[in-house]
Amino acid sequence: MEVKIYFEQERLFNHYVASHPNGDVLQTTNWGRLKAGHGWEYYPLAAEDKGKILASALILIKDLSPLPLKLAYSPRGPVFSSPEALAAIWQGGASFCRSKGAVVWKMDPPLRKDNSHWSELASKLDLVPIDTGLDFGGTQPRFVMTLDLGPSCEELLGNMKSKTRYNIRYAQRKEVVVTRVKEKALMDEFYKLLEETAQRDRFTIRSSSYFYTLWDELMEHKLAHLFLARHEGELLAGAILFILNNRAWYVYGASSNNKRNLQAATLIQWEMIRFAKSQGCRVYDFRGVSGNIDPDHPLYGLYRFKEGFGAQLVEYVGEYDLPLAKGGYFLWQRLLQAHRWLRTLRHPN
């Protein structure tokens, strides 16, 4: 089995990712180009046999300045069709990452926790499982909420919590209007709404240039879609949906401080669900929640909102590290500890 970089055959690489049951937008070269404009290098690595791809890994590499270290990361990867193909991409990827000076190769495939094949392979390949806790300590969420889009729209509504169904119909009665945006200039409005949301809910957001690049690399290629909800012309909510093959992901959301009683954020989810279903998607992924679903937990409201649509909690295998340089990996772990400590100081609650 041969392992090589697929820069000259990116369409073939992306086709393999898109057609794979565990393929993710974050493993496409489109995502790599987005990240390349914001401090990362990207490399589409694939293991092939007789010209057929059997495993792939989009590898992102970043300098960890001021330390003389580099991090390699495959978000929601690698993708593989057999244990042998995974072993090949692991061996080839490890050699490649070392050649680029990386001290660790991080990965977090979207495989369910009970995937025994992954557990066995991870042990054989000397991967180190990383405990990221029950909340959002990981790079990608370990706990997600997914909705089966197999039933009809009427059945999906019927399967929802009564309060969620009521809120959707209430927003419709109040003439909240949701549209799928086709003009890049309207990204400005979404970003301003995102800033308002971040200030209210106390979280940090990426620069506006990141979202403009996201439009160019993902939305122009139909891998992402922007939805806006208005009432009497006033923007109340916005959201970005990723779609790849038969799966959709709710990735970014924002809402206004005004007219929150009109339930625009609930209606926009329903319209994205309907759109995803119209595009042939079989799963709608609401993305992350806390793994602690105690009603007294501070993040329980997020779980309750997503569960209201009929979504089910799924736990993935989580993050794994492949250490590539013993001393450098030790420094990387200390750097992470310091980062988490500083984040705790800034956001003690």
The answer, yes or no, to whether residue 346 has pLDDT greater than 70, is no
Tokens of 339: 């980062």
Ranking 37-46, 61-70, 168-177 by mean pLDDT, the lowest is 61-70
Integer Cα distance of 54 and 79 in angstroms: 8
What would the mean pLDDT of 313-338 be, rounded to a whole number?
A: 85
* Helix, coil or strand: residue 71: strand
pLDDT value at residue 340 = 61
Integer Cα distance of 114 and 17 in angstroms: 22
Integer Cα distance of 272 and 252 in angstroms: 12
The answer, yes or no, to whether residue 243 has pLDDT greater than 70, is yes
Kindly report, residue by residue over 135-173, the tens digit of the pLDDT.
887 789 999 999 999 999 999 999 999 999 999 999 999
Half-sphere exposure of 10 (CA within 13 A, CB side): 11
Kindly report, residue by residue over 83-96, the tens digit of the pLDDT.
999 999 999 999 99
What would the mean pLDDT of 264-272 be, rounded to a whole number?
A: 98
pLDDT value at residue 151 = 98
pLDDT value at residue 341 = 54
Q: Among residues 8, 28, 5, which one has the least CA distance to residue 224?
A: 28
The answer, yes or no, to whether residue 177 has pLDDT greater than 60, is yes
Angle between helices 83-99 and 116-124 (to 10 degrees): 40
Q: What is the mean pLDDT of the chain?
A: 93
- In sequence order, what E strands does 25-182 have? 41-49, 52-63, 70-74, 79-80, 102-107, 128-130, 143-148, 177-181
Structural domains present in the chain: 2-131+317-346 (3.40.630.30), 143-315 (3.40.630.30)
Integer Cα distance of 86 and 74 in angstroms: 13
pLDDT value at residue 349 = 41
Kindly report, residue by residue over 211-235, the tens digit of the pLDDT.
999 999 999 999 999 999 999 999 9
Supply the pTM of this predicted model.
Answer: 0.93
Kindly report, residue by residue over 8-39, the tens digit of the pLDDT.
999 999 999 999 999 999 999 999 999 998 99
Kindly report, residue by residue over 196-212, the tens digit of the pLDDT.
999 999 888 999 999 99
